[in-house]
Chains A and B, each alone.
Chain A
Amino acid sequence: MNDARNLWSRRLRTDFRAALSIIAALAVVPLFVSSPYWLGILVVSIYFALLALGWNLLAGFTGQFSLAPAAFAMLGAYATALLDYHLKAPLAIGIPAGILATALLGWLLGRIVLRLKGPYLALTTLSFAEISRVVVGNSHEFTRGDQGLNVPTLMQSRVGYYYLFLAVLLGVLCALYLLMRARAGRFWLAIRDDETGAASRGIDVVRYKTLAFALSCAICGLAGSLYGTFSQLVSPELGLLLQTGLVISMVVIGGMGTLTGPVAGALIVYLSSELLRGVGNIQLIVFSLVVIVFARFFRTGLFGLATGRR
Chain B
Amino acid sequence: MSLLRTEGLTKHFGGVAAVEDLALSMEEGEILGLIGPNGSGKTTALNMLSGFLAPDAGRAWLAGEEVTRMAPDALARRGLLRMFQMTRVFARISALDNLITAGLARGLTERETQKRADALLEELTLAPVACLDAGQLSGGQRKLLEFAMCFIAPPRVALLDEPFAAVHPVMRETMAAFIRRRNAEGHAFLVVSHDMPIVVELCPRTACMNAGRLIAAGATRDVLKDAAVIEAYLGSGSHA
Contacts and interface: CB of A to CB of B under 8 A. Distances in A.
Interface of A: 1-8, 183, 186-187, 189-190, 192-194, 196-206, 257
A187 B77 CA distance: 14
A193 B91 contact: yes
Nearest to B94: A6
Contact of A190 (B71, B82, B84, B90): B90
A200 B149 CA distance: 10
Contact of B72 (A189, A194, A200, A257): A200
Interface residues of B, number: 33
Nearest to A191: B90
A183 B81 contact: no
Given A7-B96, A201-B106, A202-B105, 17 more contacts: A1-B131, A2-B129, A4-B131, A5-B131, A6-B132, A8-B93, A186-B104, A189-B90, A189-B101, A190-B101, A199-B52, A199-B71, A200-B73, A200-B82, A201-B73, A202-B73, A202-B102
B50 interface: yes
A192 B92 contact: yes
B interface majority secondary structure: mixed
21 contacts: A1-B131, A1-B132, A3-B131, A6-B94, A6-B131, A7-B94, A7-B97, A8-B93, A8-B97, A186-B101, A190-B93, A194-B90, A196-B52, A197-B84, A199-B52, A199-B76, A200-B82, A201-B73, A201-B101, A202-B77, A202-B106
Interface string B68-95: 0001110011000110100011111110
A206 B132 CA distance: 29
Interface string B120-151: 00000000110111000000000000000100
A203 B94 contact: no
A192 B51 CA distance: 20
Contact of A186 (B52, B76, B84, B97): B97
A201 B134 CA distance: 15
A203 B105 CA distance: 5
B67 interface: no
Given A2-B129, A3-B131, A204 B92 contact: no
A292 to B, nearest CB: 22
Nearest to B91: A193
A194 B100 contact: no
A200 to B, nearest CB: 5
Given A186-B100, A187-B105, A201-B106, A6 B133 contact: yes
A6 B82 CA distance: 27
A193 B84 CA distance: 15
Nearest to B134: A193
A199 B80 CA distance: 12
A204 B101 contact: no
B133 to A, nearest CB: 7
B92 to A, nearest CB: 5
Nearest to B50: A200
A213 B100 CA distance: 24
Contacts of A192: 92
Contacts of A193: 89-93
A206 B73 CA distance: 10
A197 B76 CA distance: 11
A197 B105 contact: no
A141 B103 CA distance: 54
A4 B128 CA distance: 11
A201 to B, nearest CB: 5
Contact of B89 (A7, A186, A197, A199): A197
Nearest to A195: B88
A205 B93 CA distance: 18
Contact of A202 (B76, B84, B129, B133): B76
